[in-house]
Amino acid sequence: MKGRGDRPARVAERIREEVSLILQNKVKDPGMGVVTITDVTITPDLKTARVHYSVLGGDEEKLAVRDALRRSKGFIRKELGRTLRLRYSPEVAFLFDNTYEKGARIDRLLREIRAEGDGEK
Domain ranges across the chain: 7-120
Q: Which residues pair with 54 in a beta bridge?
A: 36
Instruction: Answer yes or no: are the C-beta atoms of 57 and 33 closer than 8 Å.
Output: yes
Q: Which positions ≥6 away from 4 have C-beta within 8 Å?
A: 44
| DSSP 8-state code for residue 3 | T
pLDDT of 3 strictly over 60: no
Task: In whole angstroms, give the CA distance from residue 80 to residue 3.
Answer: 24
pLDDT of 16 strictly over 90: yes
Percentage of the chain lying above the pLDDT 70 cut = 93
In CATH, the number for domain 7-120 is 3.30.300.20
Three-state DSSP class for 52? strand
Helices (H), 4-98: 7-25, 59-84
pLDDT tens digits for range 50-92: 999 999 888 899 999 999 999 999 999 999 999 988 888 999 9
For 40, phi and psi rounded to 5 degrees?
-135, 130
Instruction: Let me know how long the chain is.
Output: 121
Instruction: Count CB neighbours of 10 within 10 A.
Output: 11
pLDDT of res. 120: 62
Task: In whole angstroms, give the CA distance from residue 102 to residue 23.
Answer: 25
